[in-house]
Amino acid sequence: MTADDPERIEPRTLKGFRDYLPGQMIPRERIIDTARRVYRSYGFAPIDTPALEHLDVLTGKGGGETEKQLYKFQDAGGRWVGMRFDLTVPLARFAAQHLAELGTPFKRYHIATVWRGENVQRGRYREFMQADFDTIGTLSTAADVETALVIHDLFLALGFSEFTIRVNNRQVLTGLLQRLDLAGKAVEILRAIDKLGKMGPEKVQAEIVEVAGATADQAARVLSMVSLKGENGEVLRQLDGLVEGSETGQQGVSRLRDLLAAAIAAGVPKERIRLDVSIARGLDYYTGTIYETFLTALPGIGSVCSGGRYDNLAALFTSQQLPGVGASLGLDRLLAAMEELSMLPKSATPADVFIPFFDATRLHDYLRLAASLRQAGLGVELYPDPKKLGQQLSYADRRGFRFAVIVGGDEFAGGTCQLKDLADRSTATVSIAESVRPLVEEIRRRKSA
């Protein structure tokens, strides 16, 4: 209710939730379309799952912080349900339920909304959209490599040239923990390492001592490994020595070496894919390769595309081994980053062409013209009211149209129109006497110039 009118409800949104105006929603949909196109180019097929799952499906794995952030409640039937906090756990349930009919390897993408009751911060909301892709049913390093290639192609397609895909392998840290007799505390240590960028090494080291019962020396050795820096080859050589004697650790280093070499061989520049031993990914279902993607111009916003290998996730739902690997594009965080970097066009319309309703006696002619341009593949909006031309062009400017096609009684009689380019304010007379083809070609020429 408002103070002025106790019967009227104040329009407002919940903290951590947001409305998307056309100027934000249009580029958001373009990102979705780009992700869909890149995923399909690698053979990933679309699926969808319910927003609500049985609570035990969501809480059976992940645990800890994830469960605290879960939106959960009893439905009308008294069942405990939860809103999905990511698209990976529902995928595990989906795979266990349907994979017999789908077969393996199964490559899927899923673009949908998820919910987490976490602290709101820059680029992070409680309701947001993810654009996931995953390969289920193979342990092959080729699937891990392809995941990196998809991320690389996706960011190029989105218009980025300066970004870094950081990779690590959970087996490497597991190998070190085995050598330090801390393997039983891997989950606690992984979650502490995941906070390295926020808390700094001293606080993370103290947390490892506190939550894992490690000695100060053990914690220092863990921090020493995750703090390794340098060229990929140099870090790999240092890791070889640190995990020597641990089969798991050596396998992790070997898989990282193969992944990096294959990605570079496939055309990823070495500066765009880096080995970063500090990458831990706090969720405990990851078992092998892990990925985080950072924008060079805006590293503080965090990873905008993350994922990894989760060989045991579906064991919650089936005795069949269903290994998987994939990644998730944080669409809304990326959108916030692109806004900050001024990468989004200032437009509140998906159409390029605006037709003013200039002559009140010619509605049918305007409708035919608009229909002809749409049939030629252009987006067209016809103004609904025969107002003054200046008012209509002001509307077109505010909405961000690129072109206005101005036709009055004289133009209709002469079979011409005035094409106004609202970007550079130039005007050209174009024939529409026999068809709109000359007009369409002129619009396309100017768009591509």
pLDDT band at 320 (very low <50, low <70, confident <90, very high): confident
pLDDT in tens, 243-263: 988 999 999 999 999 999 999
* CB within 8 Å of 216: residues ≥ 6 apart: 205, 209
pLDDT in tens, 38-62: 999 999 999 999 999 999 999 875 5
Q: In 47-200, which residue ranges form alpha helices assigned H by DSSP?
A: 55-59, 65-68, 88-102, 141-157, 170-179, 186-193, 196-199
pLDDT in tens, 184-214: 887 788 788 878 877 888 888 888 888 888 8
Helix then strand then coil, % of the chain, to nearest 5: 45, 20, 35
| CA dist 339 → 129, 306, 370, 408 (Å) | 16, 20, 32, 39
> What domains can you pick out in the chain, each with its CATH number?
22-340 (3.30.930.10), 353-448 (3.40.50.800)
Supply the pLDDT for residue 309: 94
Q: What is the DSSP letter of 212?
A: H
The percentage of residues in the chain with a pLDDT greater than 70, rounded to a whole number, is: 97
Mean pLDDT is lowest, of 3-12, 91-100, 294-303, 304-313, for 3-12
Residue 347 tokens read as: 């437009």
The pTM assigned to this predicted structure is 0.88
Helical (H) or strand (E) element with 260:
helix 247-265
Mean pLDDT is lowest, of 62-66, 155-159, 265-269, 411-415, for 62-66
pLDDT in tens, 324-361: 999 999 898 898 899 899 998 778 899 999 999 989 99
3-state SS of 334-348?
HHHHHHHCCCCCCCC
> What secondary structure does DSSP assign to 383-440, as a single string?
-SS---HHHHHHHHHHHT-SEEEE--HHHHHHTEEEEEETTT--EEEEE-SS-SHHHH
